[in-house]
Structure 1
Amino acid sequence: MNFVALLVVALAASLTAVAILAWRVRRVRGDVHALRRSEARFRSLVQLSSDVTLIVGGDGEIRYASPAAQRTFGRRASSLEGIKLLSLVHPDDVTQAGRLLGALAGEPGRTSCEWRVRGSTGMWQWTENTTTDLSHEPSVGGVVINVRDISERRTLESRLTHQAFHDALTRLANRSLFLNRVSHAVARAPRSQRPSVVLFLDLDDFKKVNDSLGHGVGDELLIAVAGRLSTCVRPGDTIARLGGDEFAILLEELDDMGHAVQIAERISTALRTPFRMQGRDVFIGVSIGIATVAAGDSPEDVLRNADLAMYFAKGRDKGRWAIYAPEMHQHVMDRLELEADLRAAVDAGDIRVEYQPIVHLESGDMYGVEALVRWHHAARGHVAPSRFVGIAEETGLIVPIGRHVFHEACHRAREWRMHRNGARPLCISVNLSGRHFQEASLIDDVREALRASGLEPWALTLEITESVLMQRSDATLDKLRALKALGLRLAIDDFGTGYSSLGYLQQFPIDMLKIDRTFVDPVAMPGSDPVLARAIIALGKTLGIETVAEGIERPEQREGLRAMGCTLGQGYLFARPMAADELAASLIEPQRVPSVAEAHASDRPPIFPPSLLLPEF
């Protein structure tokens, strides 16, 4: 190859090299431009991002903070550089944050953790922190932390958690949280020398409040009850609303069971005090069951035992407490059987009515009779009203029973008029239950009984307990006025034994007060002063309301009551309750109790012969 050819080859190679170099230079320039554009894009993203980007050196100092730090930390990004990151973290979270940063050294990948930092408002706020160790990158040389404000999310989570475990109305713990707390108490029971107990509370007469004053007042009452309960227990005790008008309380580490009883009585006293709702006094009570938290029990077992004890307490009388005992299971079974038998008796028409005479204390003439519900069971015999009336109230069976008594009593009273030979017809008194009073059908029930029997309305008296009247609502007043519009009379039964308020005597259309036998017993009793009986009689006189004394058993009581101004009375002194046919037989010939003067002059017996003095069940 000659020199020229070699020169040409060399020149071509040089040109190729130059071309390759030029291409590489253009490529590098393109990469630099792309890198600059990427850096600019990254910087724009960092600058505009709502998240904070921090670069933290191995010594824990912040080397770089993005502009978003102003919004999150409340200070300029540049002022954060050189500050220890952990100095910005909540004291309770410092250990966790430090452990995370220490564990990152030399570890690839990302790690997230949540902690609190001092926010722009000066308050602690939650942040989610995603960390990446880029210490090996010369351009970074530290741990990159992406800080995101999650305060709103944590607040929402907290709110949702609270809603999941708390009652929305009262803000108390709900059943789920309560059972969780009881489960912890059960777990601690084997190691604890001090008892823990559960109280199960059921409000008495709450349904009457709801029905008469409305659900709005009922909700206000539940909130007020929750407030009072909190004043009766210790700060560490758990109060829960289980639903409706049922509450539960977990009392941990008590001195003894006597301490639990003291708290139960404190609660009873607190809830008996009237609640002021929309300008009126509202009265309720509470029945309480007490059960011990024992090792080996499930939380549901403990709550069920307390519920059973409450059921037992309410069965004895409202406003009581009872401590769980295993034999209560049998009591509940017996009660359920009694309820089933009562339903069968109502369906079969086996509920009977007996009548006790009411007489004029001065003359001895019969004024009328009170209709009393009775139940004779084939196997149980005579079932006391105290055993089945409460069950009838709870189950609603008292409503068909009440309708039956209305019709039977009005029918009998109409029949007896024929046996009186032209004399004034006997007045008939019928007890109206609180449950039946709340029924929308009440007015129609009474109207139909009067229509079907033909009894004059003025001859019928409905006896209502004070508990029915204690909620002085417009609905109660309207119902009483509707009853009065039928032409009948209204009486308050066992006056003075409930939540008496003189205000309702003027507000409500009351015709008669019946004095409970507990106030009659002291009359003419040596060493006793019947001050309450005297006060009720005087009150009746002042308001123009007739008074009837119940449970008169001795002539001295009759004389003492008459001297005080009481006009009517009933009791064993005159006659015990009797069947309709037996009463009718005594009415064929007009008879009466001896007048006061005659009673002092002779030993004349009551109007009914001994064969008609039936035992009262």
Structure 2
Amino acid sequence: MSLRHGLQARFVGLLALMLLFFLSVLVVLWHRQERMQEQVEATSRAAMREMANDTLRRNAESVVGEMALAMANPLYYFDLDEIGRLGQTTLRQPGTRYVQVFDAQGRIVHDGSEDIPGYGQAMDDPLAYEAVAARRVHTQVGGDIMDVSAPISIGSQRIGGVRAGFDLNVVRQHQERASSGLRSQLQALGQQHLLWIGLLSGVLAALGVAMAWLIQRFLVQPISDLADAARSIEAGRFDTPLPASQRRDEIGDLMNAFSRMGASVARHDREIRRMAYTDALTGLHNRLAFREALDQRLLTLHGAGRQLALLFADIDDFKRINDTLGHEAGDDVLVQFANRIQDVVQQHGGDGALLARFGGDEFVILVESGSGYGDEIRSAATRLAEALVEVLGQPLMIEGRQVFLGTSVGITLFPEDASGATSLMKNGDIAMYQAKVAGKNCYRFYSRAMDQAVERRVQMEHELRGAWDRGELSLAYQPVFDLAEGTMVGAEALLRWRHPKHGLVAPSVFIEVAEQSGLIEVLGPRVLRAACRDAVRWNTRRSGDRPLFVSVNVSPRQLRSGDLPKVVAAILAETGLSARQLHLELTETAVIGDEVHAGNLLSRLRQTGVKVWLDDFGTGFSGLSHLRRVPVDGVKIDRSFIADILRDPDDLALTTAIIAMAHSLGITVVAEGVEKEGQYALLRERGCDLAQGYWIGHPVAVDEFLSLLD
């Protein structure tokens, strides 16, 4: 009954509020109507006053103007009778207070009366000065008088003037009568509106009473019965008989659904409890179960002199698996990783270790130490992290092929780093992120300096988002020379960021931020477009000479998106650069993970005439055999090999072998980082095709590069 009474009380209260609302609206409407009537009346009064004054002014000016014309000859001949007759004619008109005819000096000649008491006297009223000085019909208002004057002239000679005063009270009386009629009409209209509003409120009140009865009869009572049944289910009594109904409406369907729900809830209760704390894919603990266990462990460890470590393990480049091999392959990777991690934890985690999957590709491990502080927990966490990196770095067999992934591990310690679960988990995430920044497939312990590094990285990402539009980003071009001919054949486009506060920011810093944040997908096409436009300028200046190419670096994210061939084709069409003059540079690590996908994209690019070079060659592939599956036009030997070829026989032998094997496949070889004359000469002797470096030419802005062409 409490549910029924609750609904009834709420509905009655709602009905009362609605009636109160309508009464309030009625009062507001009545008040607004009164205000509107006052405003309409005031506006109408002002409009009528302005219209009446304007009409009076026009009529008065017409009358006075005609008088001035008619009195020209009588005044010239000083015919007072005729002047008086004309003045009396005007004076007899309703609302005319006075008529005065005056000479050129402003003395009264006639005032329309028989005895002319002011004859010869100068007019000295406040309006007289402007009336005498007027050179055309002139209107003044003073108090309740509208004074209209006009000069009387013979030819171009002004011999006097005439003025007449008209009573404004007459106009105001007419205006007041009109306003009274308007007020009466507005009041009658307002009363009609209030009557209709009152009738509507009464109808709504009657409908409200009817609805209250219907709701009580057909809704409140059945819901009350269902509420009693729901309380039984809430108490865990899933086998309680539930009310059934023969009604063929929504309430009947609801009551019957409750009956079926009771059986279903009882059947799934145990399954739900199991699923709430278990990861469905791997069978490990999930985030909820781990957090409850962590909270309980921390309560136990506080003041007990024992330590705890959390290890956050995240699969490196896992998104690439889902994007290239599909989500089923991604699930297979997660299961294999979970099994490997579980084996490592059993071997190195010790008693009380707990493993959970937080979702996605992130796993968390909790390990405890015995009594005493020191390096015990740090050493245990280090051994476990090293084992994880080693085991998870081994290849996986996915759909009959080997996949290399690795893992990044972040470690945080209790109570050294934090004393609460939330802070520990945040610190573990930060440490794991720093492991990825450090190059992936490694582990890092949390330190307070990492918080500052994360903040700086976030700030750099924020500033980098608008750097191109603000003109802070620009391109520099480093010449590329043909070793055999000793001539410039092209240039590599290098992105530079001149920060307004920090000056030049190292490319290795902000390029990595752009890559990890996804900004590179926006900056990449802009850089490519700007480089192609500059290359068109170079070759326009060098008309008749051998065209220069421009090489542009392409990030792994751009390659994974699959839209690179379309973007390149659109930019070439927009800028007018020949495809043969564009070289795209990709790192080995960008293609080693999925050679099939990369090979298809590179084949489509090469079919258009664009050249594809493999940058930093020698740091990612284990051998040149991979080049058969990834078609490229050239390889750039990494600068780490070139730096020591003059004094390290191994680097010289490796560089010579790369040149020979690349030439056997018809691939051009480019050496980067040539900083000494001896390096240049040795590379030319060994048959290297192209070279770039500080000894040959520094990266310069486009204007300086154009001057090099001259």
TM class, shorter-chain normalised? Answer: 0.5 to 0.7
Specify whether residues 561 and 268 from structure 1 end up closer, same or farther in structure 2 by C-alpha distance, changes over 3 A only: farther
Structure 1 position 194, deviation (Å): 5.0
- 2:284 aligns with 172
- 1:280 aligns with 401
Q: How does 1:513-532 map to 2 (within 5 A)?
A: 513-525=635-647, 529-532=651-654
- 2:702 aligns with 580
Q: Which has the higher contact order (CA 8 A, sep 6+)?
A: 1
Specify whether residues 230 and 562 from structure 1 end up closer, same or farther in structure 2 by C-alpha distance, changes over 3 A only: farther
For structure 1, list consecutive stretches of 5 or more residues without a partner in the other structure. Answer: 1-152, 589-617
Tell me the distance in 2 between the aligned counterparts of 1:531 and 1:276: 34
State yes or no: 1:227 paired with 2:339. yes
Q: Secondary structure at the match of 2:357?
A: strand
Q: How does 1:505-516 map to 2 (within 5 A)?
A: 505-516=627-638
Structure 1 position 154, deviation (Å): 11
Structure 1 position 529, deviation (Å): 4.4
Tell me the distance in 1 between the aligned counterparts of 2:560 and 2:551: 19
Partner AA of 1:351 in structure 2: L
- 2:519 aligns with 397
- 2:353 aligns with 237
1:260 to 363, 381, 392: 381
Tell me the distance in 2 between the aligned counterparts of 1:274 and 1:371: 36
Specify whether residues 225 and 459 from structure 1 end up closer, same or farther in structure 2 by C-alpha distance, changes over 3 A only: same
Structure 1 position 451, deviation (Å): 0.9
Partner AA of 2:367 in structure 1: L
Structure 1 position 527, deviation (Å): 6.4
Whether the 8 Å CA contact 2:392–2:407 is kept in 1: the answer is yes
Tell me the distance in 1 between the aligned counterparts of 2:475 and 2:402: 36
Structure 1 position 538, deviation (Å): 2.7
Tell me the distance in 1 between the aligned counterparts of 2:621 and 2:613: 16
Tell me the distance in 2 between the aligned counterparts of 1:194 and 1:550: 54
Specify whether residues 529 and 511 from structure 1 end up closer, same or farther in structure 2 by C-alpha distance, changes over 3 A only: closer
State yes or no: 1:504 paired with 2:620. no
Whether the 8 Å CA contact 1:189–1:293 is kept in 2: the answer is no
Structure 1 position 264, deviation (Å): 1.7
Q: Secondary structure at the match of 2:662?
A: helix
Q: How does 1:324-403 map to 2 (within 5 A)?
A: 324-403=446-525
- 1:7 aligns with none
Q: Which whole-Å deviations, capped at 9, do the CAs of 1:187-220 have from their partners, x for residues lacking one?
A: 3334555532111122222222222222222222
Q: Secondary structure at the match of 2:430?
A: helix
Whether the 8 Å CA contact 2:353–2:365 is kept in 1: the answer is yes
State yes or no: 1:212 paired with 2:324. yes
Partner AA of 1:308 in structure 2: I
Tell me the distance in 2 between the aligned counterparts of 1:372 and 1:202: 32
1:199 to 296, 303, 311: 311
Specify whether residues 231 and 537 from structure 1 end up closer, same or farther in structure 2 by C-alpha distance, changes over 3 A only: farther
- 1:608 aligns with none
Whether the 8 Å CA contact 2:472–2:500 is kept in 1: the answer is no
- 1:549 aligns with 671
Q: Which whole-Å deviations, capped at 9, do the CAs of 1:12-68 have from their partners, x for residues lacking one?
A: xxxxxxxxxxxxxxxxxxxxxxxxxxxxxxxxxxxxxxxxxxxxxxxxxxxxxxxxx
568-577 or 165-174: bigger deviation:
165-174
Q: What is the CA RMSD across the aligned residues, in angstroms? A: 2.5
State yes or no: 1:293 paired with 2:414. yes
Q: Secondary structure at the match of 1:346?
A: coil
Q: How does 1:587-598 map to 2 (within 5 A)?
A: 587-588=709-710
**Scaled by the length of structure 1, what TM-score is found?**
0.66
- 1:425 aligns with 547
- 1:116 aligns with none
Tell me the distance in 2 between the aligned counterparts of 1:526 and 1:335: 38
Specify whether residues 564 and 382 from structure 1 end up closer, same or farther in structure 2 by C-alpha distance, changes over 3 A only: same
Q: Which whole-Å deviations, capped at 9, do the CAs of 1:263-311 have from their partners, x for residues lacking one?
A: 2222222233222222322222322211002287222211111111122
Q: Which whole-Å deviations, capped at 9, do the CAs of 1:388-408 have from their partners, x for residues lacking one?
A: 112211221101110111111
Structure 1 position 347, deviation (Å): 4.1
Specify whether residues 435 and 509 from structure 1 end up closer, same or farther in structure 2 by C-alpha distance, changes over 3 A only: same
Q: How does 1:41-80 map to 2 (within 5 A)?
A: none
1:303 to 419, 425, 431: 425
Whether the 8 Å CA contact 2:595–2:630 is kept in 1: the answer is no
Whether the 8 Å CA contact 2:368–2:377 is kept in 1: the answer is no
How many residue pairs end up in the alignment? Answer: 437
1:489 to 600, 611, 625: 611
Q: Secondary structure at the match of 2:467?
A: helix
1:247 to 350, 354, 363: 363
Q: Secondary structure at the match of 2:297?
A: helix
Specify whether residues 527 and 487 from structure 1 end up closer, same or farther in structure 2 by C-alpha distance, changes over 3 A only: closer
Tell me the distance in 2 between the aligned counterparts of 1:535 and 1:563: 13
Structure 1 position 159, deviation (Å): 4.8
Q: Which whole-Å deviations, capped at 9, do the CAs of 1:347-395 have from their partners, x for residues lacking one?
A: 4353211111111223321121111111111112111112111221122
Q: Secondary structure at the match of 1:565?
A: coil
Partner AA of 2:476 in structure 1: E
Q: Which whole-Å deviations, capped at 9, do the CAs of 1:57-107 have from their partners, x for residues lacking one?
A: xxxxxxxxxxxxxxxxxxxxxxxxxxxxxxxxxxxxxxxxxxxxxxxxxxx
Q: Secondary structure at the match of 2:580?
A: helix
Whether the 8 Å CA contact 1:185–1:252 is kept in 2: the answer is no
Q: Which has the larger radius of gyration?
A: 2
Specify whether residues 346 and 275 from structure 1 end up closer, same or farther in structure 2 by C-alpha distance, changes over 3 A only: farther
Tell me the distance in 1 between the aligned counterparts of 2:455 and 2:560: 29
- 2:573 aligns with 451
Q: Which whole-Å deviations, capped at 9, do the CAs of 1:503-556 have from their partners, x for residues lacking one?
A: 431012211111111122220115654343233223212222111111111222
State yes or no: 1:269 paired with 2:381. no
Structure 1 position 482, deviation (Å): 1.9
Tell me the distance in 1 between the aligned counterparts of 2:385 and 2:683: 40
Partner AA of 1:319 in structure 2: N
Specify whether residues 275 and 215 from structure 1 end up closer, same or farther in structure 2 by C-alpha distance, changes over 3 A only: same
Q: Secondary structure at the match of 2:369?
A: coil
Specify whether residues 281 and 367 from structure 1 end up closer, same or farther in structure 2 by C-alpha distance, changes over 3 A only: farther
Q: Which whole-Å deviations, capped at 9, do the CAs of 1:120-154 have from their partners, x for residues lacking one?
A: xxxxxxxxxxxxxxxxxxxxxxxxxxxxxxxxx99
Specify whether residues 457 and 175 from structure 1 end up closer, same or farther in structure 2 by C-alpha distance, changes over 3 A only: same
Tell me the distance in 2 between the aligned counterparts of 1:531 and 1:264: 37
Partner AA of 2:427 in structure 1: N
For structure 2, list consecutive stretches of 5 or more residues without a partner in the other structure. Answer: 1-264, 371-375
Specify whether residues 195 and 340 from structure 1 end up closer, same or farther in structure 2 by C-alpha distance, changes over 3 A only: same
Structure 1 position 421, deviation (Å): 4.3
Specify whether residues 429 and 257 from structure 1 end up closer, same or farther in structure 2 by C-alpha distance, changes over 3 A only: same
Tell me the distance in 2 between the aligned counterparts of 1:300 and 1:570: 51
Tell me the distance in 2 between the aligned counterparts of 1:534 and 1:238: 52
Partner AA of 2:364 in structure 1: A
Structure 1 position 460, deviation (Å): 1.0
Specify whether residues 231 and 576 from structure 1 end up closer, same or farther in structure 2 by C-alpha distance, changes over 3 A only: farther
Specify whether residues 370 and 271 from structure 1 end up closer, same or farther in structure 2 by C-alpha distance, changes over 3 A only: farther
State yes or no: 1:406 paired with 2:532. no
Structure 1 position 495, deviation (Å): 1.5
Tell me the distance in 2 between the aligned counterparts of 1:188 and 1:545: 65
Partner AA of 2:381 in structure 1: A
